[in-house]
Structure 1
Amino acid sequence: MNPMDAMLEVLRSEGVEKIFGNPGTTELPLIDALAKAADFEYVLAVQEHSAVAMADGYARATRRTAFVSLHVAAGLANGLIGMLNAKRSRTPLVVTAGQQDRRHLIEDPMLAGDLVGLAAAAAKSATEVRHAHDLPVVLRRAFALAAQPPAGPVFVSIPMDLLAEDVDVPVPARSPLAPLGPATGLDQAAWILAGARNPAIVAGDGVGRDDAVTQLVNLAERLGATVFHQPMHDRVNFPFTHPLHAGMLAPRNVAVREALTGHDVVLVVGCHAFSPHHYTPGPAIPGNTRVVQLDDDPAELGRNFAVELGLTGGIRASLTELVSQVGRRAHPVGATNPAVDDPVRATTRAPLPSPVAAKAVADGLPADAVVVDEAITFGIELRPLLRLSRPNSFVHTVGGGLGWGVGAAIGTRMARPDRPVVAVLGDGCALFGLQGLWSAARYHVPVLFCVMNNGEYRTLKDTLAESYGPGPHPGLDLGRMDWSKAALFFGIATRRVENDAELREVVASAGSLVEPLLVDVPLL
Structure 2
Amino acid sequence: MRPVDALLHIMRDEKVDTVFGNPGTSELPFTDALATASDIDFVLGVHEGPVVAMADGYARATGRPAFVSLHIAAGLANGLIGLLNASRSRTPLVVTAGQQHRGHLVSDPLLSGDLVGIARPAVKHAFDVQHAHDLPVLLRRAFALARRPPAGPVFLSIPMDLLDEDTDIPVPTRSTVAPLGAATELDAAAALLAGADRPAIVAGDGVGRDGAMAELVAVAEASGATVYHQPMHDRVDFPMTHPLYAGMLAPTNEAIRTALAGHDLVFIVGTHAFMAHHYTPGPAIPDGTTVIQLDSDPAELGRNFPVALGLHGGLAVTLGELGRRLAGRVPAAAGRLAAGARASAGRRAEIDAVARAGYGSAPLDPLAAVHAVTAGLPEDAVVVEEAITSGVQLRRLLALDRPGSLVHTVGGGLGWGLGAAIGHQLGQPDRPVVAVLGDGCTMFGLQGLWTAARHRVPATFVVMNNGEYRTLKDTLDGRQSRSTRSGHYVGLDLAAPGLDFTKAAEFFGVESVRVRDTDQLADAVAKAAVATGPTLIDVPITGHGGERRKP
Fold conserved between structures, TM > 0.5: yes
How far, CA to CA, are the matches of 1:56 and 1:420 in structure 2? 17
Is 1:485 aligned to 2:497, yes or no? no
1:410 aligned residue: 422
User: Alignment partner of 1:173: what SS?
Assistant: coil
Could you tell me how far apart the structure 1 residues matched to 2:520 and 2:84 are? 36
**Structure 1 partner of 2:23:** 23
TM-fit CA distance, 1:510: 1.0
**Structure 2 unmatched ranges of 5 or more:** 543-551
Aligned to 2:404: 392
Q: Is the 8 A contact 1:53 1:82 kept in 2?
A: yes
Matching of residues 332-411 of structure 1 within 5 Å: 333=334, 347-411=359-423
1:128 aligns with 2:128: yes
Equivalent residue number for residue 39 of structure 2: 39
Note if contact 2:359-2:368 (Cα within 8 Å) is conserved in structure 1: no
Q: Quote the Cα distance in structure 1 between the aligned partners of 2:5 and 2:531.
A: 38
1:182, 1:72 → 2: CA distance? 43
Counterpart of 1:140 in structure 2 is: 140
Q: CA deviation at 1:346?
A: 7.9
Aligned partners of 1:372, 1:52: CA distance in 2, in Å?
15
Q: Does 1:155 align with 2:155?
A: yes
Q: Secondary structure at the match of 1:19?
A: strand
Deviation of 1:442 after TM superposition, in Å, equals 0.5
The 2-side partners of 1:517 and 1:223 are apart by 45
Q: Which residue of 2 is the match for residue 506 of structure 1?
A: 524
Separation in structure 2 between the aligned mates of residue 275 and residue 393 of structure 1, nearest angstrom: 21
Q: CA deviation at 1:367?
A: 2.3
Amino acid of the structure 1 residue aligned with 2:492: L
Q: Within 2, Cα distance between the matches of 1:494 and 1:162?
A: 45
Q: Structure 2 CA distance, aligned partners of 1:498 and 1:178?
A: 55
| Equivalent residue letter for 1:475 | G
SS of 1:157's equivalent in the other structure is: strand
Q: How far did 1:165 drift?
A: 0.3
State how far apart, in whole Å, the 2-side matches of 1:178 and 1:444 are. Answer: 39
Q: Secondary structure at the match of 2:154?
A: strand
- How far has the Cα of 1:328 moved from its partner? 5.3
| Structure 1 residues 271 and 183: CA distance shift in structure 2, 3 A | same
Q: Give the secondary structure class of the aligned counterpart of 2:380.
A: coil
Once structures 1 and 2 are overlaid, which stretch shifts more, 382-391 or 339-348?
339-348
Quote the Cα distance in structure 1 between the aligned partners of 2:145 and 2:524: 42
Secondary structure class of the residue paired with 1:176: coil
Deviates more, 1:335-344 or 1:188-197: 335-344
Offset at residue 474 of structure 1 (A):
1.1
Any idea what the Cα deviations from partners look like across 1:468-515, whole Å, max 9, x if unmatched?
344311100011211111000000001010000001111122111011
> Could you say what secondary structure the match of 2:318 adopts?
helix
Q: Which letter does structure 2 place at the counterpart of 1:477?
A: D
Structure 1 residue 345 displacement after superposition: 7.3
Q: Contact 2:236 / 2:401 at 8 angstroms: preserved in 1?
A: yes
Distance 1:268 1:349 in 2: 43
CA distance in 2, matches of 1:203, 1:390: 15
1:330 deviation in Å?
2.4
CA distance in 1, matches of 2:62, 2:449: 22
With over 3 angstroms needed to count, the CA separation of the structure-2 counterparts of 1:191 and 1:6, relative to structure 1, is same
Alpha-carbon shift at residue 187 of structure 1 (Å): 1.2
Q: Secondary structure of the residue that 2:311 maps to in structure 1?
A: strand
Instruction: Give the counterpart letter for 1:454 in structure 2.
Output: N
- Residue aligning to 2:512: 494
Does the C-alpha gap of structure 1 residues 346 and 46 become closer, same or farther in structure 2, counting only changes over 3 Å? closer
Query: What is the number of residues matched between the two proteins?
Result: 524
Query: Counterpart of 1:352 in structure 2: which amino acid?
Result: L
Amino acid at match of 1:168: D
Counterpart in the other structure of 1:476? 492
Alignment correspondent of 1:246 = 246
Checking the alignment, whether the CA contact within 8 Å between 1:191 and 1:329 is kept in structure 2 is: no
Q: Name the CA distance, whole Å, in 2 between partners of 1:56 and 1:115.
A: 21
Q: Does 1:455 align with 2:501?
A: no
SS where residue 79 of structure 2 aligns? helix
**Offset of 1:466 from its aligned partner?**
1.4
**CA–CA distance in structure 2, aligned partners of residues 447 and 372 of structure 1:** 10
Quote the Cα distance in structure 1 between the aligned partners of 2:217 and 2:67.
33
Please tell me whether residue 321 in structure 1 is matched to residue 317 in structure 2: no
Root mean square deviation, CA, Å: 1.4
Q: 1:262 Cα deviation (Å)?
A: 1.8
Tell me how far 1:424 sits from its aligned partner: 0.3
Q: TM-score, normalised by structure 2?
A: 0.93
Equivalents in 2 of 1:145, 1:236: separation in Å?
25
Cα deviation 1:354-386 (Å, max 9, x = unaligned): 011011111111220000000000001110100
Superposition pairs of residues 200-279 of structure 1, within 5 angstroms: 200-279=200-279
**What SS does the aligned partner of 2:274 have?**
coil
Q: 1:449: how far off?
A: 0.3
* Matched residue SS, 2:198: coil
How far apart are residue 121 of structure 1 and its match? 0.2
Alpha carbons 1:428, 1:456 under 8 Å: kept = yes
Output one character per residue of 1:440-483: Cα deviation in whole Å (capped at 9) or x when no partner.
00000001100111000000011111113443111000112111
Q: C-alpha separation between the residues in 2 aligned to 1:86 and 1:452?
A: 24
Is 1:63 matched up with 2:74?
A: no
Cα deviation for residue 326 of structure 1 reads 1.2
* CA apart distance, 1:324: 0.7
Contact 2:65–2:94, Cα closer than 8 Å, also in 1: yes
TM-score (normalizing by structure 1): 0.98
Alpha-carbon deviations, 1:184-220, whole Å to 9, x = none? 1111111111111110000000000001111111110
Question: Aligned partners of 2:129, 2:448: CA distance in 1, in Å?
Answer: 30
Letter in 2 for 1:433: G
The residue type paired with residue 95 of structure 2 is V
Give, in angstroms, the shift of residue 178 of structure 1: 1.4
Q: Distance in 2 between matches of 1:483 and 1:262?
A: 46
Counterpart position of 2:13: 13
**Separation in 2, partners of 1:330, 1:467:** 45
* Aligned residue in 1 for 2:180: 180
After TM superposition, what 4+ stretches of structure 1 lie above 2 angstroms from structure 2? 328-347, 468-471
Does 462-471 or 337-346 show the bigger shift?
Answer: 337-346
The CA distance in 1 between the partners of 2:233 and 2:152, in whole Å, is: 16
Return the letter of the residue paired with 2:366.
S
Corresponding residue SS for 1:350: coil
Counterpart in the other structure of 1:291: 291
Contact 2:222 2:328 in 1 (8 A): no
| Alpha-carbon distance in structure 2 between the residues aligned to 1:15 and 1:437 | 27
User: Which residue is equivalent to 2:453?
Assistant: 441
Amino acid paired to 2:511? A
Q: Quickly say closer, same or farther: Cα 1:304–1:443, change in 2 above 3 A.
A: same
CA distance in 1, matches of 2:146, 2:79: 17
Displacement of 1:347 after TM fit?
Answer: 4.8
Instruction: List per-residue Cα deviations over 1:142-185 (Å, max 9, x = no partner).
Output: 00001110000000000000000010011100002111111111
CA contact (8 A) 2:358 2:368 kept: no
For the residues of structure 2 that align with 1:139 and 1:515, how far apart are their CA atoms? 35
3-state secondary structure, aligned to 1:441: helix
Q: What secondary structure sits across from 1:274 in the alignment?
A: helix
Distance 2:435 2:283 in 1: 35
Gaps of 5+ in 1: none
Aligned to 1:422: 434
